[in-house]
Amino acid sequence: MSFLFPIESQLVKNPLKGQLLKWIGNKQKYANTIISYFPKKIKTYHEPFLGSGAVIAALSPKKGIGSDIFKPLIDIFRKLKSNPDELILDYIENYALIEKFGKKKRMKS
């Protein structure tokens, strides 16, 4: 089962600069090469392996649909669309927990 995430005009107006997620196997480095093989005119771009969204961000289509089998990944993109401030706060909070845990772990070693 894959999860769909419609990419609407907000990303077209403000395309992602750089990489939203550091994702294993992301296509950031190859995105421009990949899209060079695409037709010049695309009505709706469908990204079957959204991952970090590198290709769809580089393409910045007027209309696009990203999908991925990994639901937590799609949840991140949905939250980015619906409530970016909450996504940022969640990241800050969870990153702080990771940092705190990492320091405790290093101190015990």
- Report the pLDDT value the prediction gives residue 13, as an integer from 0 to 100: 47
User: Would you say 66 and 4 are in contact if contact means Cβ atoms under 8 Å apart?
Assistant: yes
- Report the pLDDT value the prediction gives residue 91, as an integer from 0 to 100: 80
User: Would you say 38 and 80 are in contact if contact means Cβ atoms under 8 Å apart?
Assistant: no
Between 101 and 18, residue with greater pLDDT: 101
- Report the pLDDT value the prediction gives residue 34, as an integer from 0 to 100: 95
Between 47 and 18, residue with greater pLDDT: 47
User: Would you say 12 and 60 are in contact if contact means Cβ atoms under 8 Å apart?
Assistant: yes
The pLDDT tens digits of the residues spanning 26-46 come to 888 899 999 999 999 999 999
The pLDDT tens digits of the residues spanning 59-92 come to 988 898 989 998 888 888 888 889 888 988 888 8
Buried b (16+ CB within 10 A) or exposed e, 88-100: eeeeeeeeeeeee
Q: Is the pLDDT of residue 12 over 90?
A: no
pTM attached to this predicted model:
0.64
3-state DSSP assignment of residue 66: strand
In this prediction, residue 1 has a pLDDT band, given cuts at 50, 70 and 90, of very low
- Report the pLDDT value the prediction gives residue 41, as an integer from 0 to 100: 92
